[in-house]
Structure 1
Amino acid sequence: MNLLEYLNIKTIKTSKQQVVLSLEVDEIHKQPYGLLHGGINAVLAETAASILANLNAPAGFAAVGININTNHLATVKDGKVEAIAEPIKIGTKIQVLAVTTISYPEEIKTSYSTVTTTFHKK
């Protein structure tokens, strides 16, 4: 079982312009105070950004993360969150991707991340 299966993260959309992941918030995703653990926001961001970067990778190369910055904007207690990744820059060596996490049903932005990746030969 991999991390996405363990955390029950679902892939909703994949394209070279946007990747959307979804997660139904459950007890395994929460910190001791009953709120969505901030690390989940980072996992969603890095995963969505990595998928997006790899969709834009040249043949024979894989995108790997080299930096992530996540700002937590609002707490989440339950419901669903979606992470939406979009490219800021897809370069030949460095990619910068923006990931916004939104909670539902409230439709509140709960985190914003920037993820930097680079391409490595497979």
Structure 2
Amino acid sequence: MNLIQYLNIQTVQQQVDCVQLKLMVTPQVCQPFGQLHGGINSVLAETAASMGANLNLPAHQVAVGTQLQTNHLRSVTEGELFVQATPIQRGSRLQVWQAVTYQQARDQPTSLSTVTLLAVDNHHSIK
């Protein structure tokens, strides 16, 4: 089972210029005191950005994350969490995507991430 299945991350939209995912906030993704674990914001951001970046690559390449910066803006304790990733730069080797995580009110993001991804041959193993 991969992380997407394990956390039950759902795909809402998947296009070359926008990927949107959602996740139900459950006790399994929260810290012991009931707040969403910050790592979940990063998982959602990198997952959405990677999915989008891979849609922009030829079949013989895959995008792998090389840098991730996440700023946590608001706490989350319940409900659905959405992330929307859009490209800032789509080069032939490097792509940079911005991911905004929010609940229903898109005007109040809960986190903001920047994800940098490298295009590698899909038979290439990273050590």
Matched, 1:75 2:59: no
Q: Which residue does the alignment assign to 2:99?
A: 99
In structure 2, what is the Cα distance between the partners aligned to 1:61 and 1:5? 23
Q: Which residue does the alignment assign to 1:66?
A: 66
Report the CA distance between 1:113 and its aligned residue. Answer: 0.2
In structure 1, what is the Cα distance between the partners aligned to 2:119 and 2:28? 33
Report the CA distance between 1:17 and its aligned residue. Answer: 0.7
Runs of 4+ aligned residues of structure 1 deviating over 4 Å after TM superposition are none
Give 3-state SS (helix, strand or coil) of 1:20's partner: strand
**Could you list the runs of 5+ residues in structure 1 that have no partner in the other structure?**
none
Give 3-state SS (helix, strand or coil) of 2:103's partner: strand
1:80 counterpart letter in structure 2 = E
Give 3-state SS (helix, strand or coil) of 1:52's partner: helix
In structure 2, what is the Cα distance between the partners aligned to 1:88 and 1:77? 30
In structure 2, what is the Cα distance between the partners aligned to 1:72 and 1:3? 21
Report the CA distance between 1:58 and its aligned residue. Answer: 2.2
In structure 1, what is the Cα distance between the partners aligned to 2:58 and 2:119? 8
* Aligned-CA RMSD value: 0.9
Q: Which residue does the alignment assign to 1:39?
A: 39
In structure 2, what is the Cα distance between the partners aligned to 1:5 and 1:121? 25
The within-5 A match list for 1:1-122 is 1-104=1-104, 106-107=105-106, 108-122=108-122
1:33 counterpart letter in structure 2 = F
Deviations 1:32-51, CA, capped at 9 Å, x for gaps? 11001000000000000000
Deviations 1:3-48, CA, capped at 9 Å, x for gaps? 1111111011000010000001001010011001000000000000
In structure 1, what is the Cα distance between the partners aligned to 2:92 and 2:10? 29
Q: How does the TM-score come out when normalised to structure 2?
A: 0.92
Give 3-state SS (helix, strand or coil) of 2:11's partner: strand
